[in-house]
A = this chain, B = another copy of it.
Amino acid sequence: MIIVTGAVKSKPGALQEVLRLSLEHVRRSRLEPGCLLHSVHQDVEDANRVVFVEHWADRDALMTHFGVAESRAFAKALNALAIERPTLHTFDVIQSGP
């Protein structure tokens, strides 16, 4: 499985639009093949910091997700609403436990 974490810090005044687009993205992504989890959160220490947690079955599913036109449009829109470059990290899970 692949874990993806992403974070975007919203420009002042853009938070509601960031959240709206993020919810659209999350709900669309959940329907894609291999998407096991896709959620969006606000950092309790900074409500303008929006954090994504995703689980994908494998790298192929993730690469397909990144290639979806709506994913690319979302990334572009998010970038324009961010105060600094959004971050995205991917992790290969070797083992998982309770």
Which residues of A pack against B, CB within 8 Å?
Answer: 1-3, 5, 19, 22-23, 26, 39-45, 50-51, 53, 59, 88-98
Contacts and interface: CB of A to CB of B under 8 A. Distances in A.
Contact of A96 (B23, B39, B90, B97): B90
A14 B74 CA distance: 35
A39 B52 CA distance: 12
Nearest to A40: B44
A97 to B, nearest CB: 4
A3 B94 CA distance: 10
Contacts of A23: 44-45
Contact of A3 (B26, B39, B42, B93): B93
